[in-house]
Structure 1
Amino acid sequence: MSATTHRGHWWLPGLPDDVTTGHLVVDDSGRCTLELIGSLDLRAAALLEHAGDAAAKAVQQERVRVVHGLVRGQPVTLLNCFAGHTDGFSHRDRSRVDLHVQDALIGAHVEPDEPAFRSALVEIENLTGWIGVEEQVHRTSDKEEGATLSRLEDLVAEVDGWTITARRTPQPFQVDASHGRTEVRSHVAAYLVVRAPEPRPAHDYHSVVLELMDLLTLASGRASGQISLTLIHRDDQVTPDRDGSALKYETRVETFGGRIHTAAPDKTGPLDWEFRFRGRDHSFEDVIPAWIRLRRQVADACNVFFGPQYARPTFTEARLLLVAIVAEALSAGLDGINPVTDRTTYRARLRALASKPDADAVATIIPDVEAWALDLHHARNTLAHTGNDDAGRDIFELEWRTSSLLALVFMTEIGMSAEVQRRAASSVLKLPWS
């Protein structure tokens, strides 16, 4: 695995005179490690940040919320750092300390909760395929080998003061000549502009990006990870122009950090028919706010549902137990029920959940709802109590049907039509051998 190394000088806010050299190493997955030559006084930093018992715990864990640096004249902020390997700790000037970094912001010095960013540019896997290129790519005719690429208006949605804009950018045709052939090529790519109603901290943008990732994961049926995230600082940079006037341009801050799922933008994506739904199935201005509000309404259910889709595959028993938990949490969240105090039975909640999508779409993936609810109820109880379901039922099939139903429920709640639901149920949500 290759990595990028940023050599610079590093210090802790509040201790500006305590500067040491080191390398910030960013690997292909985005994970960041600060390898210090000499050490920073992490204990003093913890005492500056905390008080009482919290300070003692922070000291023990060697944790610091923020480290500032300077790399080739460019400011860098490292957030949520934990000490890892140390060497020669008793000789501070000659010691080496590795800090594991949750988020690296290259381009600005900020504090963890500082409302420093007015917008963000984000690329997410499967976004271009979800939006589609049908309106942008035009073949000249059946008799001629040719195509044209057009530029389209931005797609814009608003939710709770935030503006989400999708931009589709066709690249000019390029000609590459080799000894054997000449290749003419181009491509279309899409990215999102996320703009807050007022400047916000970096972590607020991470939250919105995760919500958008989940939407594309739901739509494509595949983990859709963050490819890149660039934050736009609230303050522009100003430089003098040749004529003496002031030239302003955006302060762009590149972000890096480890993620559960590492994006692979060059990997082959899903074909048109493999999407459960696409951007053309419902207007962008409607589906984005509908999804974000739903995602926040049933956050616990979504966290459990989408988490395993980004992580490495696990045992079918674990997946089945998780989707059984999601089914209950989603039913309660959508109906405004407190699952602790409400006396509705688990099977009744499952039946209510199955009644929400289009009936024909549900029948395609779950022919007998009552039998499915009974099987899932029993499987949940046996897995939760014994860790093993020995009833002889096909738990892979049960997990598949339940996950497909949950996808249909999410699609229903964001306004996907019965036709779209039926198409998804008959093409990609039903059991492969049914």
Structure 2
Amino acid sequence: MANDPLNLDESGEWAGLWWLPDDPENRVPGVLRYKPEEGLVLSLIGMFEDRIVTTLADGLAVVHEGSRTWDVIHGAAEQREISLLGCVPSSSKRTYGARVKSPDKQTITVTTALIGAHVDSEDEAAFSKIEVSVENFGLWAATSVFKGVFSAPGGRPDGSGTISVEPVEAQSVEVDGTEFVLAHSHTLPFFDYRRGGTVGRMRDTAYMRIVPREATSLSDAMSSARLIQDLIALATHHAAGVIWLRLKLAQAVGESASGRQLPERNVEVIYSPAVIGKHDAKATDHHRVFFTCESLPFEEVIPRWYEVHERLQSATNMILGLRYAPAQYVESNLLTAVGAAEVLHRGLGIDQSPIPRADFKSMREAMLAQVPEEHRGRIRSSLRNDPTLRDRLYALAARPDQEAMSSLVPDVDRWASRTTKGRNDLAHEGQTPDHSIEELIAVVDVTTAVVILNILNELGLPAERQREIVHNHPQLRYTARGARDWLTAPTKEP
């Protein structure tokens, strides 16, 4: 359909005229091309001046090293306004002194394209709504317009049945003045007549619509898309690529000359997110998903995730980074997983000062009194009343459901001890001679799982579901087995 969003995993091309916002009369023909693996490239027949030139008092011009870049280039192509943001010239070919006069050529690399609107910057509040689709969103939403019934008289299928389409009522919740809507759109029935048979099909797309109280900008829209992307990545335990991002132009921008409000205008966003979603790829298996809107209702999880994502963003970024770009070396994964645990502990606001604060203050002053004045500043900074890494790991293990945790980490003492030693040896000695590769892998997997369970616990995931995840999720079952094999203290002989 012509009104479908532009999928980021599909190529596109827009031929038109292009100009700089401060020089709209100088319009240069060219073609904007997008390829998922290469990004956005504008090829001009002609060029914008990209040299850095200084004109001297005597009229002479001095060309400096380097080249200009442009924050925004405007265009008109395929009967739509286009804004190109973050534009850098990659090649320019001038024809001075050529035997045959021909147009100059210029190629410009573009960071982001808005198809359907002219804006002056990514911070311009020009949009009223944000719509985003990410991989596995429909699986997480746990709703569909499709319903199937198969006839099986006497318990034996007879080959008959029906597939019906029933519109799904949108679910919405307001958080801090912003409305989040779980919406569906579906195509009309289509019959594809082939020589060897006939295929009938429809497509149901679940997506998130975000409606802020006031007009929003492109940069805020990308942050909102990232919020949803991270939620689905956490819920499915799988990198969640952005399939498409669409904005609605604010009515104030789209008013007609007569003062009447025009219908909402779609603005497609073409950019390169952390992962580009593949819209036709098979969804993640349901048994590999941590939670859906069945186990944690939409109207509950969105407000909680909004708060948790902001409060624990550093920890979630680190742990989700292992899903988006897993490191090839166990040492890097060790530092990331343990770092996420430490950052999470701080974000949770657990007050675990080993020594009462009043007592520690007097103790520190007494110790500093024995230190020569020239060394006192250095010693003061090293005297801290913070919990150790082992203390933090113990505290994290105590927060989720304890039955689930005991299945995942049967020997918390051993896990905390070996994780602390592995991290300290790597950070201070540059190697982990007392750990085998298998044990390090178990440390990384268990620490990652403990962080994830804590985040899920903060989202309010029921204890029963936490137990189901540990017992049934293939990766967490593997992690629990590694904990039993490598992170359990050996039994002493009687």
Shorter-chain TM-score range: 0.7 to 0.9
Residue 348 of structure 2: SS of its match in structure 1?
helix
Residue 282 of structure 1: SS of its match in structure 2?
coil
d(CA) in 2 for partners of 1:206 and 1:89?
A: 40
d(CA) in 1 for partners of 2:208 and 2:459?
A: 20
Distance change in 2, residues 1:387/1:160 (3 Å): farther
Residues 390-434 of structure 1: per-residue CA shift (max 9 Å, x gap): 323322222111111111111100110001111111122424272
Residues 279-334 of structure 1: per-residue CA shift (max 9 Å, x gap): 11111111011102111112222222223422365322212211111110011011
How many equivalent pairs are there?
419
Structure 1 stretches of 5 or more lacking a match? 46-58
1:295 corresponds to 2:303: no
> Structure 1 stretch 244-253 or stretch 296-305: which is displaced more?
244-253
* Equivalent residue in structure 2 for 1:432, among 467, 478, 481: 478
d(CA) in 2 for partners of 1:79 and 1:387?
A: 43
* Equivalent residue in structure 2 for 1:81, among 72, 82, 87: 87
Give the match for residue 367 of structure 2: none
d(CA) in 2 for partners of 1:83 and 1:152?
A: 47
TM value normalised by structure 1? 0.87
Residue 111 of structure 1: SS of its match in structure 2?
coil
d(CA) in 2 for partners of 1:327 and 1:140?
A: 48
d(CA) in 2 for partners of 1:320 and 1:233?
A: 45
d(CA) in 1 for partners of 2:181 and 2:205?
A: 14
Is the contact made by 2:186 and 2:203 (CA closer than 8 Å) also made in structure 1? yes
Q: CA deviation at 1:127?
A: 0.5
Distance change in 2, residues 1:387/1:185 (3 Å): farther
Is the contact made by 2:138 and 2:144 (CA closer than 8 Å) also made in structure 1? no
d(CA) in 2 for partners of 1:170 and 1:259?
A: 25
Matches within 5 A, 1:122-141: 122-133=132-143, 137-139=147-149, 141=151
Is the contact made by 1:400 and 1:431 (CA closer than 8 Å) also made in structure 2? no
Q: Which amino acid aligns with 1:225?
A: G
d(CA) in 2 for partners of 1:387 and 1:174?
A: 61
Is the contact made by 2:143 and 2:168 (CA closer than 8 Å) also made in structure 1? no
d(CA) in 2 for partners of 1:89 and 1:389?
A: 61
Distance change in 2, residues 1:170/1:109 (3 Å): closer
Residues 8-56 of structure 1: per-residue CA shift (max 9 Å, x gap): 22222223334323221111358212223333234679xxxxxxxxxxx
1:110 corresponds to 2:110: no
Residues 159-206 of structure 1: per-residue CA shift (max 9 Å, x gap): 111111011345454443334333344443211111111101111011
Residue 119 of structure 1: SS of its match in structure 2?
strand
* Equivalent residue in structure 1 for 2:387, among 328, 344, 348: 344
Q: Which amino acid aligns with 1:423?
A: E
1:229 corresponds to 2:274: no
Residues 102-159 of structure 1: per-residue CA shift (max 9 Å, x gap): 2110111002121000102211110101112478524254334223332221111221
1:25 corresponds to 2:71: no
Is the contact made by 1:19 and 1:40 (CA closer than 8 Å) also made in structure 2? no
Give the match for residue 154 of structure 1: 170
Q: CA deviation at 1:344?
A: 1.4
* Equivalent residue in structure 2 for 1:379, among 402, 422, 431: 422
Distance change in 2, residues 1:374/1:99 (3 Å): farther
Residue 161 of structure 2: SS of its match in structure 1?
coil
Distance change in 2, residues 1:137/1:389 (3 Å): farther
Q: CA deviation at 1:238?
A: 6.5
Give the match for residue 456 of structure 2: 411
TM value normalised by structure 2? 0.77
d(CA) in 1 for partners of 2:174 and 2:50?
A: 42
Distance change in 2, residues 1:29/1:157 (3 Å): farther
d(CA) in 1 for partners of 2:82 and 2:200?
A: 40
Percent identical pairs in the alignment equals 27
Matches within 5 A, 1:190-205: 190-205=206-221
Residues 220-244 of structure 1: per-residue CA shift (max 9 Å, x gap): 111111100111010375789xxx9
Matches within 5 A, 1:12-411: 12-29=20-37, 31-42=39-50, 60=66, 62-88=68-94, 94-112=103-121, 113-133=123-143, 137-139=147-149, 141-143=151-153, 144-235=160-251, 237=254, 248-311=262-325, 314-335=328-349, 343-385=386-428, 387-393=430-436, 394-411=439-456
Q: Which amino acid aligns with 2:41?
A: T
Please tell me whether Structure 1 or Structure 2 has the larger radius of gyration of its CA atoms.
Answer: 2
Distance change in 2, residues 1:202/1:293 (3 Å): same
Give the match for residue 53 of structure 1: none
Is the contact made by 1:397 and 1:431 (CA closer than 8 Å) also made in structure 2? no
d(CA) in 1 for partners of 2:287 and 2:142?
A: 12
Structure 2 stretches of 5 or more lacking a match? 1-8, 54-64, 154-159, 354-380, 482-494
Residues 333-368 of structure 1: per-residue CA shift (max 9 Å, x gap): 111679997611111111111111111111222111
